Chains A and B, each alone.
Chain A
Amino acid sequence: KAGVTQTPRYLIKTRGQQVTLSCSPISGHRSVSWYQQTPGQGLQFLFEYFSETQRNKGNFPGRFSGRQFSNSRSEMNVSTLELGDSALYLCASSLLGATEAFFGQGTRLTVV
């Protein structure tokens, strides 16, 4: 069974640009969550999608958004990038949400 796949693995963007990250969950998993990991703040919850609906949202500005498609694949978008958005963005999938969560390898975003 394939694991959680995130693309791309690495990304370099310029301040002010926007970026879209993609996540394909484990087959059969309906819940997809996104996390931001930085050395200073650690792992912080961005949002969770379940059956194409955002079920929970973390404390991030509106520049961070996401969506989930009918096949459970998810994308997250960050608009008007800031230097502080440089981080490892991780996607996790789980069967229903309140169960074991499995992470992808992450997308390393660098904003210059």
Chain B
Amino acid sequence: GQQLNQSPQSMFIQEGEDVSMNCTSSSIFNTWLWYKQDPGEGPVLLIALYKAGELTSNGRLTAQFGITRKDSFLNISASIPSDVGIYFCAGQDGSSNTGKLIFGQGTTLQVKP
């Protein structure tokens, strides 16, 4: 079945540093979504990408939809303590027009003040 490999698995950085994480897939996706999840809460949508090559920003966050449609990355600039959480990439099946999302394993981000 479809799988998403997300890396790194965890990151421990200093406040103010930039962060980069990425996802790769064995198959093509039509849509890439990036979410952040805090403990005990549901994932919150950060950025949605719909076109190959698309680069989208949301404040200090920037994400790109890979040209091959099999990968995406998320950058966080000038990290702050509230960036702490688990970040998930999710791909939407490229072969069907349904809402099914395939999720990466998550990147746990810790920020040291």
Q: Which residues of A contact B (CB under 8 A)?
A: 4, 6, 31, 33, 35, 42-45, 48, 50, 55-56, 58-59, 90, 92, 94, 97-106, 108
Contacts and interface: CB of A to CB of B under 8 A. Distances in A.
B64 interface: no
Interface stretch (B13-21, B51-59, B70-78, B94-102): B94-102
B106 A98 contact: no
A6 B40 CA distance: 13
Given A98-B30, A98-B92, A100-B33, A48 B100 contact: yes
Contact of B105 (A42, A59, A92, A99): A42
Question: 9 shortest A-B CB distances, which residue pairs?
Answer: A103-B42, A97-B99, A43-B103, A56-B98, A31-B99, A98-B97, A100-B48, A48-B99, A33-B99
A55 B33 CA distance: 21
B8 interface: no
B101 A101 contact: yes
19 contacts: A4-B42, A35-B103, A42-B104, A43-B43, A43-B88, A43-B90, A48-B98, A48-B99, A50-B99, A92-B99, A92-B101, A94-B99, A97-B98, A97-B99, A99-B99, A101-B99, A103-B43, A104-B42, A108-B40
Given A43-B88, A55-B98, A101 B41 contact: no
Contacts, number: 71
Contacts of B104: 42
Given A33-B100, A103-B43, 17 more contacts: A31-B99, A33-B101, A50-B98, A55-B98, A55-B99, A56-B100, A90-B42, A90-B43, A97-B97, A99-B31, A101-B45, A102-B45, A103-B35, A103-B42, A104-B42, A106-B42, A108-B40
Contacts of B43: 43, 90, 103
Contacts of A56: 96, 98-100
Contact of B33 (A42, A44, A97, A101): A101
B67 interface: no
B42 A105 contact: yes
